[in-house]
Chains A and B, each alone.
Chain A
Amino acid sequence: MEIQRLASLAISDSGFIFDPVSGHSYTTNQIGLEIIRLLKEDKDIPEIIEYILDEFDVNRDEFETDLIDFTQNLKSYYLIGD
């Protein structure tokens, strides 16, 4: 997965994200922030799933579906590649 663009994001603890390349800004929650941090560390999807399930009280099936949606969103904003 191409993650170069993630490195340039300005990410605040409040969940506010600014992309200095496109000028777009986004908001996400605590889990979203963790996913972006893990992607930046080059973690793959199974590793992200295991980490989030360990750290947060979430249901595996729901989280896996949400993670697909979330990464699709990141792709649609050109923040990650295929």
Chain B
Amino acid sequence: MALKVEDLKLNVERDNRVSLLELSTGNNGIVLDVPDNIMLSTLGIRKGKMLHCRGHQLFGGPVVIKTGDRQIALHRRLAEKITIQPV
């Protein structure tokens, strides 16, 4: 299921990595880099995983993402630390 990060880099010509915070609603991205945090890995946010942005909450609230079939709300500061490759 999970794509290898290395394979992906070969396939994408232009490196347009962004932070998860910059992924807009309805788009997908693959995790390239993620802080070492057991909660994140348990929730399925690990290198090579596909994330789908479900929306951004107002008032500086969290980013809601979907990975697999799990829905997760991440604080903006945390989302900023996660680097993704939009696909």
A binds B: no
